[in-house]
Every structure is written in C-alpha cells, then in structure tokens.
Structure 1
Amino acid sequence: NPLNTFINFITTNPKPLVNLINNNDVMNKYNNSMMDIEHNNIMNIPPLEDPSINYDYLRPYLAGLIEGDGTMWVGTGKNISTMPKVNMVFNMKDKPLAEYLLQITKCGTLTKKSSGNYMMWQMQNFREVYHMLSLINGYMRTPKHEALMRALVWYNNYINKYKNIDTNSKLKNWESVNTPQSINLMKNLDVFELLSRDTSPLNSNSWLAGITDANGNFSISLYKKKRINLYYRLELKQNYHRPLDINIKNDMETLNSIINKGESYLNMMSSIASFFNTNLYSRSRNMKLKDEYKLYSSYIVMVTNKEGLKLVKQYFDKYPLLSSKYLDYKDWAYIVKIIESKGQTSESYKLAEQIRTNYNSTRHKFKWDHLKLFKK
C-alpha cells in the first residue's frame, strides 16, 4: 500500500531526509521545500495507525474538498518532467481548519494571498504530494479524477525509472546530492494502483461533506415576517476542462480508458440531487475575470422540500462538516427541527431572525470544538 509505505519509511530512517531529491525531475523551482524538511524533521509524521485520527473520514473528505476547491497540477509537454503539485483554497475564516489539516497530514504550507480574503494550502514537496495522492486515491467521484490519474502515472513512471538504477553511477543533474541515498529512497516507494472513481452510495462516506465545505451552503431566508424558507445548496461548474497535449509515457491504455475530455458534471450532480430527493438546476452568467467577461455555466442542487431537508440533516449529522459551515449547519438544522415539531410560528420566526445576525457572511463568533469530532 503506497500510504503505508510512506509512513513506514519515514518512521524507520534515523536521519532527516535533507538529501531527498533536488533535480528538476522531481523538485519544483522552490528550494525552500528542502529546508522545510531539514528544519521540521519529516520523521515527526504520525503513523497511519494512530488511533486518534479517523482515516475512514479523512480520505473521502479530502477527496471531496479537493474536487470542490482544489487543483492538481501535472506537467505536460515540455513540463512533463516537473513533479505534480496539489493546492487547496480556504477562506480566511477557515484558517483553523487549514492549519488542522496540515497538522494531521504533515503536508504542505499555508500562504495568505496578497489580494482577496483567502489562503492557499500548497503541497510541492515530492513526499508530501505522494502522501496526499495516497490518501485520496479511490475516493474521487467527479471528472477531476483524471488529474489524479495523471499524477499517479507520473509517480509510477518516475519510481519505475529510478528505482533500479545503479546506485554507484553518476546521474545527470544529481551531482549535488547523495545519489545512493536518493536512489534507495525510490526503492522504498510502491507504484500506485490506478483506482477508479468511487461509485459507492453517497451516504457511505464523508465525500459529500468535503465538497460541501468547498462549494455548498445552508441558507435561512425570511419572507414577509411570516415564513421561514430553508435551503441546502451545492453548485459546481458544468464541464471539466483540461489541456489536450498530454504526454504520459506509461500505462496510457489504462489512463485513456477512464479520461473523458471536457466531461460534464451532469451525472455526478444528478446523483446528488436524486440522493436528496430534489431537482437539479442549471444557470449561466457572465463573470468578469481580469479585463474580460466569460460565460460561466453551473449545475445547482437546491433542496427546499420537507423530505429533502430531512435527508440533508440525516447525512450531515452522520458526516459532520469541518469548516465554519459546521456552525451554520447546526443553527440551520435547529430551525429545521423546530419547524418539524412546531410548524411555522411567530416564535420560530423570531428565533430564525435572531440566528441570522450571526450566520453565514454575518457570522462574527467562531468556535472550533467540532474538529474533535474528526477524531475517533
């Protein structure tokens, strides 16, 4: 198992991996990633079997989070030798979650962007990216799965290329590193099994919680001081696009069998709508990007009916959110419960009105005790 191999190698080697890999094949242009290993000592990564971490929850949750607000960059053409990178975007109010995920995975760094109210969780180190790919392999459900496949094939090609090289030979671009140690490092990595998309029932794991933390919300709207309208909403773009000049040298037959160029998100979003007993909607709008407008088309799952709201509540009670949306969900779910038991009353209306003063974009009080729910 690649994930077990990653952990076992780290915990059985007595020295920090300062001489990890420093050539253009596997290292990005930022040399400070090597310094991070030296200063932080990568051996501190907890073992996978750590009973305090719920990996059954973590792995599908991370897959959903990446499919919603993440990117996996894999070089093509002249950049084919540059190692893959994984990035995730977080609103600044969710910084505690980003820090927590970094802490338990020991992957990447957090960077506050100079403009905008968000930060990036960036993974650009060879072993960290390998570890993250190991975590999410087999749990992705959307067309973005093809980027994962390209990243896994890149690692498989690299491992197969270097693991059997004579450790006493001098390799081009490796003059500045400990060649025998670096080659031996490759021998401790397993190639990835290219797992297909997860087609298990949506209520079987936390994937939907991850993608909701990325792209979903829970709304409470008030109508003419008489009625409360409750919504669960999830919006994703309609089509997945990727560069067409892919040049992967190995296992292309397997890879091509699972990649669809420009594939639609329709099937996945239809499945979510069906799961919550609601309809799927679509919309298109012009969005200004830099100095030009582009048409953005998306699919929207909107749950408003009584039975659907009950199903939403059942799922997120079973698989809790981890971002600050958890706090919004708990307030939202409380109103759902009140209306179920007492109906639309003046008291329930006043309660909803009060909750909305500290809710979604108006929330100014945050607690993060719910992250302990992530632990076993």
Structure 2
Amino acid sequence: MGSSETIRRNFSVKNLFMKNIEFKSYLTGLIEGDGTIIVPDKIYSKNNKKNYPSVQIIFHLKDLPLALTVQKTLNCGSLNRIKGVNAYNISINSREDIISIVSFLNGYMRSPKIYDLWKLIDWINSQENTEKIYKCEKDQSSLLSNAWLSGFIEADGHFRVRAYLSNFKIECKFELVQPAIDHNKNSNYCVLEKIGTFLNSSVKMTRQTKPKKEYRVRTTNLKGNIILEKYLNEYPLFGSKNRDFQDWSNVLYFFKRKVHKKKIFYDRIVAIKSGMNTSRKNFQWNHLNNFYILEK
C-alpha cells in the first residue's frame, strides 16, 4: 500500500493534468467559435518574403480583461485593437508559439476547423529540424467531459430573456449561432447537432433567403436550460457573458419554481432583464481570479 505522501503526489499530478485539459478544451472551443487558423498556400510571397501561419482569437471590446487573461496564460501572442471593429485580436505568429498552440488544440477540436489545424500541422511537419506532430481526429467525447462548450459559448452564445407586458409572458432561452458553411465550404451542421442534442433541442437553419445562411441551436424547454445551467456551473464562462449567464440563471430560478407566470414576479424578472447583454453598463471581473492555471 502506498504512503500518504505518494497518494498526495499522485492526486496532485492528476489534478494538474485535469486543469490542463480544462484550459486546452476551453481554448479550443474559443478558437473554434471565434478564432482563425491561417496557413499560407505558398512559402514565399510575391515580394519574395517568406509567409508564416497565424492563429488568431477574437474578443469583443468589452471582453478586454478576458483577452488579457488568455494572453497571459498562453504567455505568447500580441494583443491589438482591430481597426473599425469593436474587437480585440490575439495574434500568434512565431514558430515556437504556433507549435505550442497546436499542442493545446490537437485532440480537442470538434468542428470543421480541424481541417485548418491539420493543414497547419502539415506546414509544421514540412519544416526542417521539426519534430513531427501526429494529427488527432475530432474529439468525439461527451460535451460533459471538458470545457470545450464553455469556450464555444464564450465566443458565440447568447442568453436571452424576453418579457411581454400584454400577457405577462416570460421567455428564458439560450441560443448559439454559427455560419451554415465555413470558409472551406464545410458544413457546421454536425457540431451544432451535437450541441442541440445535448441541450434537448435541435438545429434550425436561419437567414435562408440570405447569401450567408446560419445554423441556430436554441433551448426550447426547461430540461435543456437546466442541463446548460448545470454544465456552466461546472465549466464556467469567464468573459462578460459570465454575468449574463448569472442573470439568466436567476430568471431560470422562477421557471424551476414554476412561478414565472405569476404577475407578482414579472417586475423582478424585467428588472433583471434590463441589465443584461447590450444593456449592461457595469462589469465585474472577480471571476477571472478563478481562471485556468496552465501547468507545464
């Protein structure tokens, strides 16, 4: 039987390993939701300058504290405001940092962006004096197994509460939208379908008359909302959506108690709704103190 010191050491190693999985899967979801993997088709440009790949992660303007925290955790990349857009961009360009990012993403990707990752791995493997990297397949594990969905929601999720004064009707829903077809002509249906199934919902195509169609998953029942609430309590959000989720969860409480249809609670729900999403003026970032620590 092992000593107590050995047991503590083994537990510490396992805990460290799990923390790394949570950060890597969260980062992967973040990049698959609102990031870009750019791999040059040609080694040299028309000006005879060598082309290099890049991994970029986009953050809304109000999520600057999260962007700074992610950059600090990665310990690489440059953070810049995107001109003419309410957004910041972490751009990772050096060969060493690119290889590091690939090691984080490889094995955790679930969307068609995996083909961009594989193209990037091919580029790395073509370089001289580089240890070859094996291309992992898509992560087929349960969405409950890691923080991937949390990162994906961070990028493209929306917590919605609607209140109708005419009949005191309240809606408490979550939705997630992605382009139907990505830049490589690959469909995002499969990854959205898995999320829809997880949330006891389904995938709907929107903007059908527009050139750029979208797929949307929206919770439609209490069961799906409770599943999402439980998941995000286990794998939290760290951007401005953290507060929107907390407010949404407070509204969900009335639904779980089955009192959301009572007029006496209408004003309380409307008050919560009035400070959510684009109406939010004040932001608190204490939750970033609990952000993932990447152990190497």
Instruction: Please confirm whether the aligned pair reaches a TM-score higher than 0.5, indicating the same fold.
Output: yes
Displacement after TM superposition at 1:339 (Å): 2.3
Consecutive unaligned residues of structure 1, counting only runs of 5 or more, are: 1-47, 164-185, 243-261, 287-293
Per-residue deviation at 1:114? 2.3
Q: Do the aligned residues in 2 keep the contact of 1:232 with 1:302 (CA within 8 Å)?
A: yes
Contact kept, 8 Å, 1:209 with 1:320, in 2: the verdict is yes
Contact 1:59–1:139 at 8 Å: present in 2 too? yes
Whether 1:237 and 2:175 are equivalent positions in the alignment is no
1:291-329 CA-partner distances (Å, limit 9, x unpaired): xxx711111001021111111111111111111101100
Corresponding residue for 2:123?
154
Q: Contact 1:68/1:211 (CA < 8 Å) preserved in 2?
A: yes
2:290: which partner in 1? Answer: 373
1:45-194 map, 5 Å:
54-77=19-42, 79=44, 82-158=51-127, 161=128, 163=129, 190-194=131-135
What is the identity, as a one-letter code, of the residue corresponding to 2:34?
Answer: D
State how far apart, in whole Å, the 2-side matches of 1:370 and 1:236 are.
Answer: 27
Q: Report the Cα offset of residue 79 of structure 1.
A: 4.5
Distance 1:370 1:52, change over 3 A: farther
- Tell me which structure has the larger Cα radius of gyration: 1
Aligned partner of 1:346: which letter?
Answer: K
Give the AA of the match of 2:69.
Y
Structure 2 counterpart of 1:317: 233
Give the equivalent residue in structure 2 for 1:290. none
Deviation at 1:109, TM superposition (A): 0.9
Correspondence for 2:224: 308
Kept in 1: contact 2:206–2:213 (CA 8 A): yes
Q: Which of 345, 351, 356 is the aligned partner of 2:273?
A: 356
Mapping for residues 254-265 of structure 1, pairs under 5 Å: 262-265=185-188
Listed as ranges, the matches of 1:326-345 within 5 Å are 326-344=242-260, 345=262
Contact 1:339/1:348 (<8 A) preserved:
no
C-alpha deviation, 1:206, in angstroms? 0.7
The answer as to whether partners of 2:159 and 2:248 remain within 8 angstroms in 1 is yes
CA distance in 2: counterparts of 1:279 and 1:89, whole angstroms: 27
C-alpha contact 1:284 1:298 (8 A) present in aligned 2: yes
Aligned with 1:86: secondary structure? strand
Provide, for residues 262-310 of structure 1, a one-character-per-residue CA deviation record: whole Å limited to 9, x for no partner.
2211111111111111121101267xxxxxxx71111100102111111
Instruction: Give the distance between the partners of 2:111 and 2:17, measured in 1 at CA.
Output: 30
Paired residues, number:
275
Matching residue's letter, 1:222: A
What is the Cα-based RMSD across aligned positions, in Å?
A: 2.3
- Structure 1 segments, 4+ long, off by >6 Å, are none
Distance 1:50 1:104 in 2: 18
SS of residue paired to 1:301? strand
Extract unaligned runs of 5+ from structure 2. 1-12
Equivalent-residue separation in structure 2 for 1:49 and 1:116 (angstroms): 42
Q: Deviations over 1:135-158 (max 9, x none)?
A: 111101001100000111111111
Aligned residues of 1:229 and 1:304 also touching (Cα < 8 A): no
Identity of aligned residues (%): 28
TM superposition score normalised by structure 1: 0.69
Task: Go from structure 1 to structure 2 and tell me whether the alpha carbon gap of 1:102 and 1:50 turns closer, same or farther (over 3 Å shift).
Answer: farther
Q: CA deviation at 1:221?
A: 0.5
Once the two structures are TM-superposed, the CA of residue 358 in structure 1 deviates from its matched residue by 1.6
Residues 91 and 285 from structure 1, CA distance in 2 versus in 1: closer, same or farther, beyond 3 angstroms?
farther
Equivalent residue number for residue 192 of structure 2: 269
User: What is the identity, as a one-letter code, of the residue corresponding to 1:197?
Assistant: K
